[in-house]
């Protein structure tokens, strides 16, 4: 063995012990005959003290890999910034295991390297302690998950990576079959169908740490290949599934970040979340609640009030002096991005409302608005109006989030977790047709089944999302287990009998053999790790991620392939 102890484990209790250490040179300081080296391994840094008059010291530079022999000594002056700061190792022998060139980025918690450089030299970026800590926390989340689900009767089962292409929320990644020319496998967007089949198989409680693939546009919290904690159960109702998941989350938070999550978690329906916070994934760490003010202007005949079914507002206390022209221009861009055409800002100053929209108000309406919003000096009011509910609420919700960030209203020391339930079963596409809001296997509320024939847009799903600090960290639902109901949903989605047979024949056939009531949830491992490690970039918590273009700057995929490979797969590239 090259080491007797890890560098970061050395403490006062080790004083006087002879040790062997290995690690990379994080820093070197030469004070004449005395040489100080900070030696880093995965567990931390220990300071080495080397007397060059007593031992032969080879050329040593940053990121050289060393093998060290020495004795642990107590420091005369402790370094309280290091866990090992009370001790150092007086070196009796030093060997260079391997040399290193000058690195293209600083190997430290703080680095000035651009992300493209960090991704190109990812193996160096991952030497940084802050990056290693993120991957260690990710491993802890997985370990806690295994322990909890194993203890609660779940069976870990792997599902196929090469699957059938079926309609999903994004494009499939396709894999050409060499043995079946013109045919393709798809990489799974999720194990959805397979985990439901496992419930039909009678296994009752399944889970896996599942790799998923979606060919979609990327952003800071999205990757083309990602990982989810996937589970499915039989014979549990929604409350039981949520309670079971809360227990898992409690264990993860306690063991990963030592945060004692208060249970049960709050729950909001989709409608409550939308109408109060302007989001289906609200961050409850700050206020700025939305208030419906449509009733104040019910007798106002101006087109602004007549044409807009939804008129809502948020009050921002003591914001008037900070609401400069530049600040307001940024909010205008946010409103435009969310297609919020009718939007205004008012200031309350010297007992009066000020703003271009005020000229449309009567004295009675101004008084009613002051009372309903409880306005005081220097308050600001944002008003959003639209004939479309989503445009008004999601638009104002986006402004709410931006204001909270600008005013530092978000407490980073706490976690806001809640369930959002009762989502719409369907959404309307840009072409005006019904599409599944979650997926086509989600069970409607029993009391809404009649609406499938009369008003399907109003049907609520037995679906639920877990929201953490304004991020959707996971989602699930109860599933349809009746073949006739499943076929009714397929038909509403515009699928012919032929299309159903081609895409889902094996799945709906299984419904003929005693399908149990079942449901489940998938928690985003990458996104949860991102939240628990305090970063807003999902690439920080994945060992070898892709950039925003879906490319790995390090290994350079995707790449072209040899012509012979294309021939073997019966493929031809068409410009």
- CA angle, 250 then 251 then 252, to 5°: 95
CB-based contact 553:119 (threshold 8 Å): yes
67-81 pLDDT, tens per residue? 999 999 999 999 999
* pLDDT tens per residue, range 352-364: 999 989 999 999 9
User: Kind and range of the H or E element at 124?
Assistant: helix 122-125
Residue 97 has pLDDT above 90, yes or no: yes
Q: Is pLDDT above 80 for 275?
A: yes
- 147 φ/ψ angles, rounded to the nearest 5 degrees: -60, -45
CA atoms within 13 A on the CB side of 45: 22
Of the candidate ranges 11-15, 287-291, 499-503, the one whose mean pLDDT is the lowest: 499-503
Residue with tokens 């004939």: 387
Predicted pLDDT of residue 276: 98
Burial class (CB in 10 A: 0-12, 13-18, 19+), 384: buried
Q: Which of 479, 460, 475 is nearest to 271 (CA)?
A: 460
Torsion of CA 406, 409, 415, 417, to 10 degrees: -90
Query: Which residues lie below 8 Å from residue 457, measured CB to CB, with a gap of 6+?
Result: 424, 426, 428, 434
Give the Å distances, CA to CA, from 51 to 24, 75, 124: 19, 15, 30
Closest of 517, 519, 537, 518 to residue 527, by C-alpha: 537
Q: How far apart are CA 117 and CA 226, in angstroms?
A: 22
The answer to whether the CB of 487 falls within 8 A of the CB of 527 is no
Higher pLDDT, 324 or 246: 246
pLDDT tens readout for residues 537-567: 999 999 999 999 999 999 999 999 999 999 9
Is the pLDDT score of 184 beyond 80? yes
The edge-to-edge listing of strands for the beta sheet with 463-468 is: 155-156, 205-213, 225-234, 518-524, 471-478, 463-468, 417-421, 267-269
State yes or no: pLDDT of 383 exceeds 80.
yes
**Residue appearing with tokens 């287990």:** 481
pLDDT average, residue stretch 48-57: 92
Cβ contact 122:554 at 8 Å: yes
**pLDDT above 80: residue 348:** yes
Name the token pair of 336. Answer: 């435009």
Domains of the chain: 7-98 (2.40.50.140), 131-268+417-542 (3.30.930.10), 286-406 (3.30.1360.30)
> Helix, strand, or coil here: 494?
coil
**How many percent of the chain have pLDDT more than 90?**
85
Q: Look at residue 499 and give its three-state secondary structure.
A: helix
b/e per residue, 415-448, with b = 16+ CB within 10 A? bbbbbbbbbbbbeeeeeeebbbbbbbbbbbeeeb
Q: How far is CA 157 from CA 20, 230, 441, in A?
A: 42, 10, 21
Q: What is the pLDDT of residue 429?
A: 82
pLDDT of res. 167? 63
User: pLDDT tens for residues 129-181?
Assistant: 999 999 999 999 999 999 999 999 999 999 999 999 876 568 999 999 999 99
pLDDT tens-digit series, residues 479-502: 999 999 999 999 999 988 888 888
Distance, in Å, from the CA atom of 74 to the CA atom of 548, rounded to the nearest integer, reads 48
Q: What is the pLDDT of residues 509-527, one digit of tens each?
A: 999 999 999 999 999 999 9
Q: How many residues does the chain have?
A: 575
Mean pLDDT of the chain: 94
First to last CA, the chain: 57
Query: What tokens appear for 278 in the block?
Result: 């302007």
Q: What secondary structure letter does DSSP report for 222? A: B
Banded model confidence at residue 202, pLDDT cuts 50, 70, 90: very high
The pLDDT assigned to 477 comes to 98
pLDDT at site 535: 94
pTM above 0.85, yes or no: yes
Contact predicate 256/144, CB 8 Å: yes
Helix (H) or strand (E) segment spanning residue 399:
helix 389-406
Q: Nearest CA to 414 among 526, 532, 277? A: 532
CA 475 vs. chain centroid, Å, equals 12
Q: Reduced to 3 states, what is the DSSP secondary structure of residue 571?
A: coil
Q: Which residues pair with 385 in a beta bridge?
A: 311, 342
CA distance 544 to 121: 10
Cα 260 from Cα 357, distance rounded (Å): 47
The encoded tokens of residue 93 equal: 């022998």
Average of pLDDT values for 175-195?
A: 95
Cα 53 vs. chain centroid, distance in angstroms? 55
């Amino acid at each position: 063995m090259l080491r007797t102890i890890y560098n970061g484990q050395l403490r006062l209790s080790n004083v006087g012990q002879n040790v062997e250490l290995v690690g990379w040179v994080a820093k070197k300081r030469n004070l004449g005959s005395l040489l100080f080296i900070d030696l880093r391994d995965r567990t931390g840094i220990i300071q080495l003290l080397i007397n060059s008059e007593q031992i032969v010291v080879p050329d040593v530079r940053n990121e050289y890999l060393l093998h060290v022999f020495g004795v642990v000594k107590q420091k005369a002056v402790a370094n309280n910034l290091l866990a090992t700061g009370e001790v150092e190792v007086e070196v009796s022998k030093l060997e260079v295991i391997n040399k290193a060139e000058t690195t293209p980025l600083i190997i430290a918690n703080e680095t000035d390297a651009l992300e493209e450089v960090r991704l190109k030299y990812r193996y160096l970026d991952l030497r940084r302690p802050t990056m290693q800590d993120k991957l260690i926390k990710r491993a802890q989340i997985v370990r806690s998950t295994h322990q909890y689900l194993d203890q609660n009767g779940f069976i870990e089962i792997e599902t196929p990576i090469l699957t059938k292409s079926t309609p999903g929320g994004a494009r499939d990644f396709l894999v050409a079959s060499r043995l079946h020319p013109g045919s393709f496998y798809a990489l799974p967007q999720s194990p959805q169908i397979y985990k439901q089949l496992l419930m039909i198989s009678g296994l009752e409680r399944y889970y896996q740490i599942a790799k998923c693939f979606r060919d979609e546009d990327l952003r800071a919290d999205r990757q083309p290949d990602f990982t989810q904690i996937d589970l499915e159960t039989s014979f549990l109702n929604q409350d039981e599934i949520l309670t079971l998941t809360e227990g898992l989350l409690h264990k993860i938070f306690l063991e990963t970040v030592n945060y004692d999550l208060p249970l049960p978690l709050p729950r909001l329906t989709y409608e409550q979340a939308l109408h109060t916070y302007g989001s289906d994934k609200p961050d409850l760490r700050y206020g700025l609640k939305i208030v419906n003010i449509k009733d104040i202007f019910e007798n106002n005949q101006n087109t602004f009030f007549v044409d807009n079914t939804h008129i809502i507002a948020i009050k921002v206390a003591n914001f008037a002096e900070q609401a400069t022209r530049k600040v307001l221009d940024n909010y205008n861009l946010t409103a435009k991005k969310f297609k919020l055409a009718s939007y205004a800002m008012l200031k309350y100053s010297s007992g009066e409302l000020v703003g271009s929209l005020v000229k449309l108000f009567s004295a009675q309406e101004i008084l009613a608005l002051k009372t309903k919003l409880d306005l005081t000096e220097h308050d600001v009011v944002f008003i959003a109006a639209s004939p479309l509910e989503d445009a008004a609420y999601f638009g104002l919700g986006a402004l709410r989030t931006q204001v909270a960030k600008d005013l530092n209203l978000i407490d980073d020391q706490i976690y806001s977790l809640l369930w959002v339930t009762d989502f719409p079963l369907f959404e309307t596409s840009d072409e005006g047709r019904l599409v599944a809001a979650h997926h086509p296997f989600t069970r409607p509320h029993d009391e809404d089944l009649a609406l499938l024939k009369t008003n399907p847009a109003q049907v609520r799903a037995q679906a639920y999302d877990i929201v953490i600090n304004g991020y959707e960290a996971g989602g699930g639902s109860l599933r349809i287990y009746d073949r006739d109901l499943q076929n009714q949903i397929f038909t509403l989605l515009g699928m012919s009998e032929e299309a159903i047979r081609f895409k889902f024949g094996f799945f709906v056939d299984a419904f003929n053999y005693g399908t149990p009531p079942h449901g489940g949830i998938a928690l985003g491992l990458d996104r949860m790790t991102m939240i628990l490690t305090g970063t807003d970039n999902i690439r920080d918590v994945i060992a070898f991620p892709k950039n925003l273009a879906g490319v790995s700057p390090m290994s350079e995929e995707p790449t072209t392939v040899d012509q012979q490979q294309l021939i073997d797969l019966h493929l031809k590239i068409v410009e």
